[in-house]
Amino acid sequence: MGGQANAVRDVALTGPRTPLARLFDDALLGVGATADVSERVRAFVALARCYQQPGRHYHTLRHVAEVTAALRVLLTAEGRAGDRYLAPACILAAYFHDVVYDPALTDNERCSAELATRVLAELGCPGPAGATVARLVLATASHGSHSRDEALVNDADLRVLARGPASYDVYVRRVRREYGGFDDAQWRRGRASALRHLLEGSLYSTGWARRRWEPSARLNLERELDGLTTRGSDTGRG
């Protein structure tokens, strides 16, 4: 945690020099931000500190970096990398989508969307840009996609589901730590319900993700669900 805090302080002192800070700044300029560089840097620092709050183990800056990396893959694969407005709006949504995160609450995405709207307005971004980013953030609540930009953001957010089994298991352990306030029975019930919901339809909305990520993602989810229900049955018999 100390290393992350030092990184945040360095950004504040030297400008947007880290890859994550530069990408955030480029996206702001891409949607028309008029604030000067010091204000944009302060916005990134404030955002980064949110992702460093105690209790976060998966929903951290690492997750933001992974989502933005997946987004760039999808933008290229779907032929949208050159879209001067869509790409930065999607990237900003990736930065803001988990900025408010509390496992005990059910309105994290709404709060994150409201924060995004306020911050982008303060940075001089046009109103339509803020509204687009807020809409994309809200779409990550259910991962239901009703437009191409929502599909890109949601698929990037769910990229982790298609990782190799070992990496997927690390992701699950990190999420479980964030739900430390829930006992094992509560965790199994809630997690199993979420997995079943995801498995009801296609996990991804873009053609590229469906072809490349869906098969391994489904295997991971089915394997985890089987483990949750098996352990639950064993506990019940005990």
For residue 7, pLDDT over 70 is answered with no
Give the pLDDT of residue 6.
Answer: 55
DSSP state of 122: H
Give the pLDDT of residue 235.
Answer: 46
> CA separation (Å) from 158 to 2, 53, 67?
29, 22, 8
Nearest 10 degrees: Cα torsion 136, 142, 147, 150: 40
For residue 33, pLDDT over 50 is answered with yes
- Report CA Rg, the chain: 18
Whole-number mean pLDDT of the chain?
A: 91
**225's tokens:** 């669900």
Among 6-15, 136-145, 156-165, the least confident range: 6-15
Rounded average pLDDT over 39-63: 97
For residue 236, pLDDT over 50 is answered with no
Q: Model confidence over 162-175: pLDDT tens digits?
A: 999 999 999 999 99
